[in-house]
Amino acid sequence: MHKNKGPVYYGDYLQLPKLLDSQLPLSRKYADSTNGECHDEMLFIVVHQVYELWFKQIIHDLDSVLSVFKKTYIPEVELSSIVQKLERIQKIQGLLIGQFDVLETMTPMDFLEFRDLLIPASGFQSVQFREIEIKLGLHTNDRLDVDREFFMGRLDEKDRAHLTQVEKSPTILKCLEGWLERIPYTNMEGFNFWSEYQKSINDILKDDQDIIETNSAHLSDRQKQIQLENLKLTRETFSSLFDETKHKDLIEKNQRKLSQKAILNALFILLYRHESMLALPFQVITGLMNIDENFTTWRYRHALLAQRMLGTKIGTGGSSGHQYLKRAADNNRVFLDLFNLSTFLIPNSRLPKLPVEVKKKMSFHV
Range of the domain at 161: 38-185+254-362
Residue 58 forms part of a structural domain: yes
What mean pLDDT value characterizes the chain?
89
Q: Is 77 annotated as a binding residue?
A: no
Q: Could you tell me how far CA 78 lies from the centroid of its own chain?
A: 21
Per-residue model confidence (pLDDT) at position 197: 92
pLDDT higher than threshold 50 for residue 366? no
pLDDT higher than threshold 70 for residue 144? no
Residue 202 forms part of a structural domain: no
Query: 30-77, pLDDT tens digit by residue?
Result: 888 778 899 999 999 999 999 999 999 999 999 999 999 999 888 888
Residue 162 forms part of a structural domain: yes
Q: Is 2 annotated as a binding residue?
A: no
Which residues pair with residue 192 across a beta bridge? Answer: 187
Cβ neighbours around 199 below 10 Å, total: 11
Per-residue model confidence (pLDDT) at position 158: 94
Of 39-43, 196-200, 351-355, where does mean pLDDT reach its minimum? 351-355
Average pLDDT on 146-175 reads 86
Residue 308 forms part of a structural domain: yes
Query: 221-263, pLDDT tens digit by residue?
Result: 888 888 889 999 999 999 999 999 999 999 999 899 999 999 9
Q: Is 47 annotated as a binding residue?
A: yes
pLDDT higher than threshold 70 for residue 365? no
Of 289-303, 313-327, 347-361, where does mean pLDDT reach its minimum? 313-327
Number of domains observed in the structure of the chain: 1
Q: How far apart are CA 97 and CA 47, in angstroms?
A: 11
Q: Is 48 annotated as a binding residue?
A: yes
Average pLDDT on 143-148 reads 62
- 147: phi then psi, degrees, rounded to nearest 5: -70, 140
How many alpha carbons fall within 13 Å on the CB side of residue 104?
A: 13
Q: Which residue has the higher pLDDT, 192 or 180?
A: 180
Residue 249 forms part of a structural domain: no
Q: Is 322 annotated as a binding residue?
A: no
Query: 263-319, pLDDT tens digit by residue?
Result: 999 999 999 999 888 999 999 999 999 999 999 999 999 989 988 888 876 655 545
Residue 336 forms part of a structural domain: yes
Whole-model pTM: value is 0.90
Say which CATH number the domain at 72 has: 1.20.58.480
Cβ neighbours around 65 below 10 Å, total: 24
Residue 201 forms part of a structural domain: no
Q: Is 316 annotated as a binding residue?
A: yes
Of 162-176, 311-325, 331-345, where does mean pLDDT reach its minimum? 311-325
Per-residue model confidence (pLDDT) at position 314: 61
Residue 209 forms part of a structural domain: no
Q: Is 111 annotated as a binding residue?
A: no
